[in-house]
Amino acid sequence: MKGLQEVFAARDSLQEPAVLATLVRVKGSSYRKPGARTLFRAGGGQTGVLSAGCLETDVQARVDAVLEGGAPQVVGFDLGSDLDLIWGTGMGCQGQVQVLLEAAAPGPAEPWMTQCAEILATRRHGALATVFAVRGAAEVRLGERYLLDPAGPGLPPPPGPIAEALAKALAGGPARALTAASGEGEADLLVEPILPPYALWIFGAGEHARPLAALAKALGWFVGIIDHRPALAKADRFPEADRIILAHPPESLQGLPLDARSAVLVVSHVYDKDLAAVAALCREPLGYLGLQGNRARSARILKEAQAPEGRVFFPAGLDIGAEAPEAIALSMLAEVQAVLSGHAGGSLRDHPGAIHRSQLLRRDGASPQSPGCPPTTPRNPGSDPQGETP
């Protein structure tokens, strides 16, 4: 949800006319999936990423026309045409996409955008429907939005078929385009879940935790730091942190807003503190719990903490041959990303099918095959990827 948060923030502080571009439908291969958004400013510049550079120049060239016309419009792009490779922009991405373009003027953001931003900020769950095509005597209009936010303020109820689509999106699944009946016609909708960003709590504020915090924030995650040492748990050492807790476990872990889109990495390397943290966290509704350190130490901690088998990832991280702190952080966060998104990791080369093959996720963020944190066992017998090289 990083792109969504950035676009919402840019729209809220807009100082000049702009065009909001939303990727609403994809057929074949595309760098981004439906729901990707970019704000293109009339004077040039953008916030957000719509493609791998395939579409941005063309969309920017249309900004003035969209602003002059005022009305939303949908533009289609064929990224796989051989003629395009010869005469066009040379995209060659083998996909077809549709992009909804809408004018945005300086001033308060649209109500749907403001409420979506609040859903993200308060870690609620919602669902958004965007109308991008109408046919016949439909009761909806191009560019209209309908938002389902069960825990938020009351909203006008959407028409029946759209309400059903929103309820399904709220239950889980990727953003997708669909067609729904509307009045005496029908409408094409982009229906997408609005989910809170991943949250990473780093238990331990040593030097090796700093690249973890920086990389997690670059990914758009909420970042929390927990440590009992005043000299380490400081804002000037972790400027990216959204929250810093200075306390001993288990008190430091009480009341944390943990859910299935949350991960904790236990990396303090103080044995009794790591033990207390694992014992307190191993039965919490986390999406991921990882422990850094060598196998013998980690196994002893898990045994003393009476952690359920397979609940803790240890040694934390993917086997990428990392040695430097930055590479170790990359290794661990790559595993967190894979687990929270319901994927197994590994090389894309070895996964046949679409690159963006999405595994359906329930509303709680867990995969249908394995609720919560999937059972795992230590990988790569004979090696010790944490504590030395992940």
Contact 363, 171 (CB under 8 A): yes
With a pLDDT cut of 70, the percent of the chain lying above it is: 83
User: Containing H/E element for 210?
Assistant: helix 209-218
Q: Average pLDDT of the chain?
A: 85
Least confident of 35-39, 125-129, 372-376: 372-376
Q: What is the mean pLDDT of residues 197-207?
A: 97
Q: What is the mean pLDDT of residues 277-287?
A: 95
Per-residue pLDDT at 309 exceeds 60: yes
Tens-place pLDDT, residues 244-281:
999 999 999 999 999 999 999 999 999 999 999 999 99
| Secondary structure (3-state) at 79 | coil
Q: For residues 161 and 345, what is the distance between their CA atoms, to the nearest angstrom? A: 37
DSSP 362: B
Contact 356, 33 (CB under 8 A): yes
Per-residue pLDDT at 93 exceeds 80: no
Q: CA dist 38 to 29, 46, 99, 268, 333, Å? A: 19, 7, 10, 39, 26
End-to-end CA gap in the chain? 27
φ/ψ of 304, rounded to 5, equals -70, -30
Q: What are the structural domains, with CATH classification, of the chain?
A: 2-104 (no CATH), 111-194 (no CATH), 199-350 (3.40.50.720)
Nearest to 124 by CA among 59, 19, 194, 229: 194
Contact 331, 320 (CB under 8 A): yes
Tokens of 140: 């909806």
Q: How confident is the model at residue 81 (pLDDT cuts 50, 70, 90)?
A: low
pTM of the model: 0.82
Angle, helices 111-121 vs 2-12, to 10°: value is: 130
Q: What is the mean pLDDT of residues 353-369?
A: 46
Q: CA dist 342 to 74, 171, 233, 259, 265, Å? A: 32, 16, 32, 15, 18
Which position has the higher pLDDT, 377 or 66? 66
Within 10 angstroms of residue 299's Cβ, the number of other Cβ atoms is 14
Nearest to 192 by CA among 73, 112, 110, 309: 112
Q: How confident is the model at residue 242 (pLDDT cuts 50, 70, 90)?
A: very high
Sequential DSSP letters for 289-325? EEE-S-HHHHHHHHHHHTPPTT-SBSS-S--S---SH
Contact 51, 14 (CB under 8 A): no
pLDDT at 205: 98
Q: Which residues pair with 179 in a beta bridge?
A: 188
Nearest to 185 by CA among 146, 142, 143, 140: 140
Burial classification of residue 83, based on how many CB atoms lie within 10 Å of its CB (0-12 exposed, 13-18 middle, 19 or more buried): exposed
pLDDT at 353: 65
Residue type, 303: K
Q: What is the Cα Rg of the chain in Å?
A: 23
Torsion region of 269: left, alpha or beta (phi above 0 gives left; psi -120 to 50 gives alpha):
left
Contact 197, 223 (CB under 8 A): no
pLDDT at 287: 97
pLDDT at 94: 59
Q: For residues 28 and 268, what is the distance between their CA atoms, to the nearest angstrom? A: 45
Q: How confident is the model at residue 216 (pLDDT cuts 50, 70, 90)?
A: very high
